[in-house]
Structure formats: structure tokens, C-alpha cells
Amino acid sequence: MKHTLTGKIIKKHLVSGDLKPGTELAIKIDQTLTQDATGTMAYLEFLNFNLPKIATKLSVSYVDHNTLQAGFENADDHAFLQSVAEKYGLYFSKPGNGICHQVHLERFAKPGTTLIGSDSHTPTAGGIGALAIGVGGLEIASALAGYPFSLTCPSVVGVHLTGKLPAWSSSKDVILYILKLLTVKGGVNKVFEYFGDGVKSLSVPERATITNMGAELGATSSIFPSDINTKAFLSAFGRAKDYIAMSADKDANYESIIEINLSKIEPLIAMPHSPDIVKSVAEVKGIKINQVAVGSCTNSSYKDLMLAAKILKGKKIHKEVSFIVAPGSKTILNALIKNGHLSYFLEAGARIIESACGPCIGMGHAPASGAISIRTFNRNFKGRSGTADASVMLASVEVAVASAIKGELTDPRTLGAYPKFPALINFESDTSLLLSPLPLKKRDAIKIIMGPNIKPLPTAKPLADNLSGKILIKTGHNITTDDIMPAGAKILPLRSNIPEISKHVFIKLDPEFYSRAIKENGGFIVGGDNYGQGSSREHAALAPLHLGVKAVIVKTFARIHKANLINFGILPLVFDNPADYEKLYANDSLELFNVVKALRAGRKIKARTRGLDFELIYQLSEREKEILIAGGKINFIKKELSK
Ligand code: MIC
Ligand code: SF4
């Protein structure tokens, strides 16, 4: 039997189930990561279990999203997170240390290990050969409590890379090319595994750009083999001992294979407002732009920033353009300070900001009204930048910087010779903002700090057999968790306060949603295809739970959001006949009959509205059904722990 790399890692970590795509299996988790915007909930959930310590080998709590601190809320969250890390033995990455995925790649990610993170871009670590999966916070809490992680066994798609990227094309263009091919729903329940001769031309951070944006395909994960480039990257961070060579067997059995000749890849760009609306830059060049941002967990590595600095050397940013740079980690920022390259940015007219997510999640640097912004980021959903009518395009560093100089969308191939510079072989291991776990004997004295913005979690009641209420909203297709529960500078600080943040559910699609949900005492959500794509934020389930949402009925779900609904006891249901979607309207009354009995018997659920009878189905494992019936995973685990 020839194994894929994914298959090998799963096999090594398998706790239950088989490697049969579509069935549920459980794996042991070696590492976890959280970031602050999802982490406060994850740790509140963990505290609920009343356990003395964490059960994982290595867990890191990062602060990188909410670093604006316009009020006390974010700083309160940081203090809470630090106190939890100290009490329970986690690493703590303080604000300013960098973006979780970049820092994790540099300091902790290891080939052949399993990692779950409460952030959808956790598969960034696939660039180093880890099987890394984005999850809701409650999965992290469960892993910290010692539970294996359950998932639908993914099918493994092979991506066969040949050739070498031409000058001015980059690994960002490779993933944009795949997004164009497969769209934002093309990867659900799949792992994209890269192999072939072309792999060796890509460094770990370049690979990580690709695995990072595999999240935009809706994929479970993406992974590269671990080879001499992996070894070089680990050595540069003083971690040569973490290296092991890992790859798929030759002629491994892939579900399907995508062939990509890297030498044919040209500079591409994702147009507003979805990462899969991809065009070649040559085709759409000339569009006047107002803002350019380089950074985010997709493109803020040493190579990315050095390249930008080299291109900018001796040049100026166009006077109509605001150019923002957020280095991925403090280590990278410091390297550019020490080698003098940071000054090329400053001399060109760049605005250097903290090593954090920043504008990627709408924390500052919102574009002007109607502005066009080119960003090296991974998501360009409408309004995510903080400006409702701005347009964001996603591109490589090469395209972004060329455009910043010219003031319009520019093909970087017009810039002349491609800058050359050596890879850095020795990064300083500065840990001034990265705190190691406290020694055991010091942990007892630590008190958990909970500021006034940190409110208790809502909990669901056990599932009732008959459910009734109004359809509170009917959405279209590809609804993102940014649509359900927006982020940005005003709303993100409320992540630890579910009653407050609930006032913003669906606010961009339907400002009356909150008041209607309160008036109707909860109800149902109806949606189309790929409902809940994008981020891992549990708040897109927790806030609807707080508002009394009982079930979400759609054509198809995105993976992480569906898991979050289950974890919080909201039924994720699917139309048996997709055409019934057309027959339902907002404000209709809806009844679901004998739900618990149907789930236990594996039968379709009968539903009725306006005299119309129809049926609903579900893709749920027996374990997931029991979680839903118990009223969510917290209730379920508490029951198990009390046994
Ligand atoms: C994102 O990129 O949307 C985020 C913010 O990193 C989210 C997590 C969150 O909403 O806190 C993600 O990707 O999971
Ligand atoms: Fe942060 Fe943006 Fe990456 Fe999300 S996608 S982790 S907000 S940098």
C-alpha cells in the first residue's frame, strides 16, 4: 500500500476510526495554538472543565488580532490570556511578537506532527510538513483537556508541481491559480498535498503562503513534504533537531491529481470581493489604487519583506497611495532593522506598523470611502477592511509593491531585473515577547485575571424534540463568518462578551436581525451553498445561540462553521431537496418534528411551513448527534468528566 504524507501522519496519530474518506476518525493532537480573538472563549471553555493542567505536549496562546487597544477591553483580554497561560503551562506570545502562524512556523511547528489552532489559517504550518488544522475554540479546549480531535477523514488531493517559478511570479500566484480553478468551496473535506520536482524550488515560507491560503478553498488542510529546505529553515531558527524528512510514498494513492507547471505561472490577482475571482494582472492592469498593504499570515516572511525592501530601494511610493507594512514577526522586523533594509521602506514613504494582523482583520488602516486597496493578504470579503464600500484585491508582494510605486495595478515584470538576495541562515532567538510555561511550583499562586469585559459563556439546553419559530433571515450563497459575525475595530473588542457582540450578528446583511431575533425569541437561519466559509470564529455560532437560534438550514456547509454549530448545540441541517431552498422566506413560521427521535433513528427530519411539508437531512456522526442532543459539547464533556 502506497501512502500519502497526510495518510502517514494520520495513521501515526490515529486514536479511533479508519482512513476511509467521509467517515469520522479521531487523532491525537501534539500541539495547539490559539490567538486572542478566539482564545478568550477557548480558555473560558477550558476553565469550565475544572482541570488542574493541560494535557497537550505544547500549547501556545498568541496575541495578534486585538492589539489596537482603543479601550480597556483588549488589554483585559491580554491579561486574562497571560494569566491562563501561566496557570496552566502554556507558552504565551505577547502582543507585538508577531502573527500566530508566522511565529508558530518559526518557533514551534514540526514536520510529522499534528497541530490544531483556533484560527482558520492554522494550515500555514503545513508548509513545514505538519498536519495542521483550523478549528473552533472548543476543539482546543477539548484537546487541552486530553481529548483526541475528531474529524471527517479527508480525501487527499495531490498537487504535482513541476518546473520553477519565473522571475516576478510567486507562490501566492500558485495558490491564486488553484483558487481560480477550484473556487472557495472546492476544498471542503480535502487535504491538498503538494509533491513533485517543483517542490524543491520553494522555501518553507513560500510553501506556507500556499498552505495558508488553502483555507480559502475551504480545505481541511494543505501540506508539503519535509526536505532539505525544511531543514535549512529549521536550522536558521536554531531548531535543526526538530527536522525529520517526510514525504508521500512514490505513486501514493491520491483521490485526484492537479498538475501545475510552475514555469507557466504568471502574476495573478483576486478581484473584489472573493479570493476566487482571480484574473491575470496583465489582463486588469492600470486600475488606479489608493492603498497597498504588505503583511498578514500569508505574506510577511523575511523573504517577502526583503523583496519589498529591495524593490523599493531608491524609489518612492506614489503620492496618492498609502503603503502599509506589517512584518509577520518581531524577529523578522528586527532582522530588517539590523541589516538596514527597514530604512528603504521608510525612505520610500511606507508606514510601518506593529507585527500583528492589523488591517487584515480591519484593526485600523481602513481604506477611504470607495477606495481600492491591494493587499498581500488572504481574504477580501466585502467590508472586512473596515470600509463598507472599499474594494480589496489580493496579490503577491511583487504585484503589491510594483503597484504602490506606480499608483495603479501594475504587472511587476515591468520593473526590470528581479532582486536577488541570500536567505538568512541565522535568526536571533529573541524571546523577550515570548514567555515559556511557568515551572509547576509557581503555577499555584497564579490568579486568573478577568476584567469587566469578560462575560460567562452561554450554554445550550438539551435538544427539544419539536422545534418551532420564525425564519429570522434567508441568506444567499458563500456566506462568510465575517457576514454572520463581523470583526473590525469596533466589534472585535467584544469577543469576550457574547451578550454585547450578539447585537452585531448579520449587521451588514440585515441591521434588523438582532431586534427581530430578540422579538421572536430566537428561530431559524436559512442559507445557500458553502454557508459559513472563512474564519474559525466560534462567535458565529455562540452569538446566534445567545439569540435563540435553534437550527441553521442550508444547501451545504463550510467545515469549521458546521463543527462550531454542533459544538454549541445548534442543529446544522441540509435540504433533502435543494429546490426547497427557493420555497422558504424570511419571517415564515417553521416547525421541525420529532428531531431527537429522527436523529437517533437516522431518519430524515420532517418540517412544515405555510402548509408546505418538506424534509431535512444531516451529515452527523453518532458522536455529533449525541453532542447536539446533550445541548452542545461543553455539556457533553462535563457529563463524561463527571463519570
Ligand atoms: C480571520 O482571518 O478571519 C481570523 C480573524 O483570523 C479568523 C479568526 C477569528 O475570527 O478570530 C480565522 O481565520 O479563523
Ligand atoms: Fe490574522 Fe489575517 Fe492571518 Fe487571520 S488571516 S490570522 S486576521 S493575519
Q: Label each residue of 19-66 as H, E or C.
A: CCCCCEEEECCCEEEEEHHHHHHHHHHHHHCCCCCCCCCEEEEECCCC
What is the chain's length?
Answer: 643
Q: CA–CA separation, 422 vs 430, rounded Å?
A: 22
Ligand 2 contacts CB of residue 104 (under 6 A):
no
The b-or-e profile of 98-123 (16+ CB within 10 A means b, else e) is bbbbbbbbbbbbbbbbbbbbbbbbbb
| pLDDT at residue 82 in the model | 98
CB atoms within 10 A of CB 210: 28
Ligand 2 contacts CB of residue 297 (under 6 A):
yes
Query: For residue range 289-313, what is the model confidence (pLDDT) as tens digits?
Result: 999 999 999 999 999 999 999 999 9
Q: What type of residue is 148?
A: P
| pLDDT at residue 321 in the model | 98
Query: For residue range 133-146, what is the model confidence (pLDDT) as tens digits?
Result: 999 999 999 999 99
- The answer on pLDDT for 480 being more than 90 is yes
Mean pLDDT score across all residues of the chain: 97
Report the Cα 67 to chain-centroid distance in Å.
18
Ligand 1 contacts CB of residue 199 (under 6 A):
no
Provide the pLDDT confidence category of residue 459 given band limits of 50, 70 and 90. Answer: confident
The terminus-to-terminus CA distance of the chain in angstroms comes to 41
Stretch (H or E) spanning 613 = strand 612-617
- Sign of the torsion formed by the C-alpha atoms of 516, 502, 70 and 299: negative
Q: How big is the chain by its Cα radius of gyration, in Å?
A: 24
| pLDDT at residue 1 in the model | 83
Our answer to whether residue 119 is catalytic in this structure is yes
- The answer on pLDDT for 642 being more than 90 is no
CATH architecture of the domain covering 467-642: Alpha-Beta Barrel (3.20)
| pLDDT at residue 233 in the model | 98
Our answer to whether residue 613 is catalytic in this structure is no
Our answer to whether residue 389 is catalytic in this structure is no
| pLDDT at residue 3 in the model | 97
| pLDDT at residue 365 in the model | 97
Provide the pLDDT confidence category of residue 320 given band limits of 50, 70 and 90. Answer: very high
| pLDDT at residue 520 in the model | 98
What percent of the chain lies above the pLDDT cut of 90?
98
Our answer to whether residue 13 is catalytic in this structure is no
| pLDDT at residue 460 in the model | 83
Copy the grid coordinates of residue 207: 510553501
- The answer on pLDDT for 449 being more than 90 is yes
Establish whether domains 272-412 and 467-642 are of one fold.
no
Select from 104, 378, 560 the residue to mutate for testing ligand 2; criterion: most ligand atoms less than 8 Å from CB. 378
The CA 378 to ligand 2 mean position distance, Å, reads: 8
| pLDDT at residue 444 in the model | 95
| pLDDT at residue 349 in the model | 98
Q: CA–CA separation, 516 vs 473, rounded Å?
A: 9
CB contact set of 5 (below 8 Å; sequence gap of 6+)? 129, 193, 195, 223, 225, 246, 247, 248, 252
Provide the pLDDT confidence category of residue 641 given band limits of 50, 70 and 90. Answer: confident
Domain ranges of the chain: 5-264, 272-412, 467-642
Query: For residue range 1-10, what is the model confidence (pLDDT) as tens digits?
Result: 899 999 999 9
Q: CA–CA separation, 26 vs 13, rounded Å?
A: 8
Ligand 1 contacts CB of residue 361 (under 6 A):
yes
CATH architecture of the domain covering 272-412: 2-Layer Sandwich (3.30)
Copy the grid coordinates of residue 57: 505536549
| pLDDT at residue 540 in the model | 98
Longest dimension (CA), the chain: 72
CA distances 600 to 61, 394, 449, 577, 623, Å, are 38, 45, 42, 21, 11
The CATH number of 5-264, from 3.30.499.10, 3.40.50.300, 3.90.330.10, 1.10.1380.10, is 3.30.499.10
Stretch (H or E) spanning 156 = strand 155-162
Copy the grid coordinates of residue 81: 490570556
As a whole number, mean pLDDT of residues 383-390 equals 97
Provide the pLDDT confidence category of residue 640 given band limits of 50, 70 and 90. Answer: confident
Kindly state the DSSP code that residue 147 receives in the 8-state scheme: P
Copy the grid coordinates of residue 627: 453532542
Q: Which atom of ligand 1 is nearest to the CA of 38?
A: 11
| pLDDT at residue 166 in the model | 98
Ligand 1 contacts CB of residue 120 (under 6 A):
yes
CA distances 282 to 181, 391, 410, Å, are 18, 19, 8
Options 104, 121, 239, 379, the catalytic residue: 379
Options 36, 59, 61, 64, the catalytic residue: 64
pTM above 0.85, yes or no: yes
Ligand 2 contacts CB of residue 326 (under 6 A):
no
Q: Whose CA is nearest to atom 1 of ligand 1?
A: 535
| pLDDT at residue 164 in the model | 98
Ligand 2 contacts CB of residue 357 (under 6 A):
yes
Options 65, 413, 504, 559, the catalytic residue: 65
Residue with cell 480553478: 181
| pLDDT at residue 98 in the model | 98
Our answer to whether residue 379 is catalytic in this structure is yes
As a whole number, mean pLDDT of residues 186-195 equals 98
